[in-house]
Amino acid sequence: MHAAEEFWLEPAALPLARRMAACGWQPDAFGAFCDRCGRTVGPHEGDDFGCAGCRDARLPWARFVRLGAHEGDLRRWIHEVKFTRWRRLGVDLGLLLGERLGAAGLGAGMPARPARLCVTPIPTTWRRWAARGIDHAGVLAEGVAGALEAPLVRALRRRHGPSQVSVTASQRLRNVSGSFRPSWGVNLSGWTVVLVDDVRTTGATLRAASRALARARCRPESVWCATAAVARDPGAGAAPAAG
C-alpha cells in the first residue's frame, strides 16, 4: 500500500514523518545553534552568553529554539505551508518544534517548566491572511501548543504594513517598529510565553513582538522564541541591534 501511495501521490502530499524518513532529515541538535539568538554555530562557538553574533547585544527574550537552518527540505516544507496552505504539514512542524522546546526544559514534568506557560504566534493581518488563505505562524503555534500541552493565546495584534521580504535587511527593524500591540484583555503577568514564527532572518520581527509584550501593562515573566527555521542573516558578521 505504501509503495502505491508514493507512486500515485505527489511527494508533497506525504505526511511529515514519511518525508523525514525518506530524506533522512532530523532537527538540529542542541549545540548546533546558539540558544540565545538561533544562529548556526560551530563547536565551542556558543556558550551561556550567546555567540559572536549576539554576545554583546541585549535581546528581549530569554532563549531561542529552532528546528534547523532555512535551507533544503525544511525550507521547502515551510514554503509549502505558507504558499500552498498545507495546514496539516504546518501543524506537524509545530508539533516537532514543541517537542524540541520540551527537550529544552518546557516539557510536561520537566523541573524547569514554568507553572504558567502559554504559546502565542507572531500575528498576521487580516489582509495578509485573506491574500494567503492561511495564518502560517498560527498553524505552527497550534502544533507547538499541542506538544507542550499549553494554551494557545493570541496575545498580540498587528498593524498592516509592507511585508518584511519586500524591504532590505537594514530596513526591517524600522518596518516592524510599532507594528505590534498587546491584545485587549490579555493578562500575561506571571506567565512564560513561547513566541512562535516560521522563519527568523534578521530577528527584527521577533524583537518587535517581544518588546510589545514587554510594554504591556500585564507583561509576561519571560519570553522564549521558537521558529521552524533560521535563515542566514543578510547582515551576517554584524551583531543584532541592541535591545
Cα dihedral 57/59/62/63 (nearest 10): -80
CA distance 212 to 198: 19
**By the 8 A CB rule, do 56 and 49 touch?**
no
Residue 179 CA to chain centroid, in angstroms? 18
Q: Give the phi and the psi of residue 68 in degrees, each rounded to 5.
A: -175, -175
Residue 153: helix, strand or coil by DSSP?
A: coil
Where do the domains of the chain lie, and which CATH numbers do they carry?
61-161+172-232 (3.40.50)
Question: What pLDDT does 11 receive?
Answer: 53
CA distance 241 to 204: 9
Local confidence pLDDT in tens for the 243 residues of the chain: 344 434 444 555 789 999 999 999 999 999 999 999 999 999 889 888 899 999 999 999 999 999 999 999 999 999 999 988 889 999 999 999 999 999 999 998 898 899 999 999 999 887 776 777 889 999 999 999 999 999 999 999 987 555 545 445 544 555 555 678 899 889 999 999 999 999 999 898 999 999 999 888 789 999 999 999 999 876 544 434 433
Question: What pLDDT does 112 receive?
Answer: 83
Nearest to 119 by CA among 15, 197, 199: 197
CA distance 24 to 3: 18
| Residue 157 CB neighbours (<10 A) | 15
pTM check: above 0.95: no
10-30 tens-digit pLDDT: 555 789 999 999 999 999 999
The angle formed by the CA atoms of residues 202, 207 and 209, to the nearest 5 degrees, is 125
